[in-house]
A and B are shown apart, each in its own frame.
Chain A
Amino acid sequence: MSILINENTRVIVQGLTGREGSFHGQKMLDYGTKVVAGVTPGKGGQQALGLPVYNTVQEAVDATGADTSIIFVPAGASADSACEAAAAGIKLVILITEHIPVLDMVRCKAFLKSRGTMLIGPNCPGVISPGKSKIGIMPDYIHRPGSVGLISRSGTLTYEAVHQITSAGLGQSTCIGIGGDPVPGLKFIDLLEMFRNDPDTEAVCMLGEIGGDNEEKAAAYIKETNYPKPVFGFIAGLTAPAGKRMGHAGAIISGSKGRGEDKIAALEDAGVTVVKELGRLGETVAAALKK
């Protein structure tokens, strides 16, 4: 098993006819993902990558039975696209786009919640269940099917961690980039809960960074619910100065809030093995799981 996506997930690409959408759409098809259609307003009736393109998500869903959407549209139109997907009954929206205005995301999340639609992102690399389905922009060759679940706020940092885990002889059940924005969709806590119930996930690795308090909330959840699987953590940005935004819109220490040291302390208190040196993440996870 895996979480969120598997070999049966039927995907539409919103923005399939654009540069990013067609490039990554092709890569997903190559990986074996069931991409079934594209949506670009005004290009309905055309074909792209051998797939039908529709004007609206509703038409695409009605024609193909898609349940998941990945969105590659400009930042100003992304929240609108996500809401369109939710209104058409899409169950999982994966939003790759960076620089979406945060007040748009607040509105968008409220609407998605009212429709019972799950959101991954924005500003994220997407989701992959190795060997089953890839819905995102990550380099797939570094992954291998296995038993480690991975949740991360960053893109290339996730690739680094996945690469190390694979090099150490292990594999991944599902890897989720939850994104670097201040108002993300699903968070550490939601995905920890899903991994808890996934029999194929033996351990979870969470990659956090400075800013916000989602790592602290996850730590409290792990502690209070006696999380039954080993959890490994890493926090980026210990050398970041306060008050400066470090690339990601959500990576900022405000006053005394959002500091890396506090996140590490909270995670360690919850029994999470926090890896201090990123270069040792793979070997640490492997050593613990091979015992």
Chain B
Amino acid sequence: MNIHEYQAKALLAEYGVPVPVGGVAATPDKARTVAEGIPGPIWVVKAQIHAGGRGKGGGVKVCKSLDEVRSAAEQIIGMQLVTHQTGPEGKKVNSVWVEQGTAIASELYLAVVLDRGAECLTVMASPDGGMDIEEVAESHPERIFTTRLDGGHHIWPYQARQLLFGCGLTPQQVGKGVSFITNLLRLCVEKDATQVEINPLAVTEDGDLIALDAKMNFDESALKRHPEIKALEDPEEEDPLERKAADLGVNYVKLNGYVGTMVNGAGLAMATMDAVKQAGAEPANFLDAGGGANVEMVSKGFEVMLSDPNVRGILINIFGGILRCDIVAEGVVQAAKKLNLSLPVVVRMEGTNVEEGRKILKECGLNFTSADSMTEAARCIAELTREARS
């Protein structure tokens, strides 16, 4: 789960990591009021969306007066901000963060990530702050310094010193940097953040270190024990259909095709999408109905898929296992009747009582087709949706 810059900066401040003084505003007048409470003579107004590259897209403005702050906020709030991370349609900006301008001497890059390969938290630093770190990794890999934490997520001061001296800081700045990094890691471990990026981390003209930007990603599996982090979630940042699915408790990801898929189990769900594509059709979504696949779950799945206007047909692939196929079939039929489903539906089931399940589907009087295998099911739905299009 991602959070906004202003939320990340509040968390950093809570953990003793220096950030500029600032406040959030949803209207131009509020932006001006916020700026009035912050010492000048320079203020920075920043669009609050979950995407990088906001400056290049016109979402960050440096202002020299309170009136400039107001007009910058007027331009930014409500705009459809396009960056390399938003896609061509961009994202609507609902609020801005207004902060005190910082007199910058140099900019570093600092990040904490969960390294899947090494299976530990890893800290990365580079003197090339403000740049896209993937470009630095490509062109100057020697300018990125990394250190791995042990399994207890502990960082020794020497590890932080190595990174900071590597970035060319003075001994005095290194001292400040060690507590910066230590505090940042305390935040990561206590709040289950698995990716934090401070880019840039500014060295001010006074020799202080301060986080000018912050991106944070939290482990969704740990949100149960951090209700205060869960509360930072911004539903406006999600695809409306995915939001609806999440509200219904359905594991759903929207794609751009026209064949809705509903499957039990994530791996089989991905394989089913792939099979649809191989049969010459385009999958409209990923949907994992979970192990249960009961009437309620199937109804919810149908409801989410049918909210996507591109869906022309549905493929249901259930590997019953312990679950009985006749029960799955009853669930599918009941859910379809409840929603007056008229689209073609291909059902492929495997497991105990598969014959009874197929009989139920055949005799239900709905536009259902049974398939024996995944390959056949995918071909069948591709055929049916091709007809539906012409």
- Interface residues of chain A, those whose CB is within 8 Å of chain B, are 27, 75-76, 99-104, 106-107, 109-111, 113, 137-139, 141-142, 152-160, 163, 180, 182-183, 207, 209-210, 212-213, 234, 236-241, 244-251, 255, 276-280
Contacts and interface: CB of A to CB of B under 8 A. Distances in A.
A236 B153 CA distance: 32
A251 B266 contact: yes
Contact of A103 (B121, B278, B321): B121
Interface residues of B, number: 54
* Most chain A Cβ neighbours within 10 Å, of B219, B265, B278, B320: B265
A110 B151 contact: yes
Contacts of B224: 75-76
B145 to A, nearest CB: 20
A106 B153 contact: yes
B319 A156 contact: yes
B152 A247 contact: no
Interface string B341-364: 000000000111000000000000
A278 B275 contact: yes
A101 B253 contact: no
A123 to B, nearest CB: 9
Given A103-B153, A109-B151, A154-B265, A247 B374 contact: no
29 contacts: A102-B221, A103-B153, A106-B121, A106-B153, A107-B151, A154-B268, A157-B268, A159-B321, A160-B268, A160-B350, A160-B374, A182-B114, A183-B114, A212-B117, A236-B274, A237-B270, A240-B273, A241-B255, A245-B220, A246-B253, A247-B265, A247-B286, A249-B220, A249-B221, A255-B134, A276-B278, A278-B271, A278-B375, A279-B375
A159 B319 contact: yes
A116 to B, nearest CB: 15
A140 B293 CA distance: 19
A141 B352 contact: yes
A156 B274 contact: no
Contacts of A109: 119, 151
Nearest to A113: B151
A262 to B, nearest CB: 15
A246 B270 contact: yes
B319 A103 contact: no
B117 A160 contact: no
Given A100-B221, A157-B271, A183 B119 contact: yes
A207 B151 contact: no
B232 interface: no
Given A103-B121, A103-B189, A155-B265, A236 B270 contact: yes
B269 A101 contact: no
B322 interface: yes
Given A101-B192, A160-B268, A244-B253, 12 more contacts: A76-B224, A99-B221, A101-B222, A102-B114, A106-B121, A106-B151, A107-B153, A155-B268, A212-B117, A237-B273, A247-B266, A255-B134
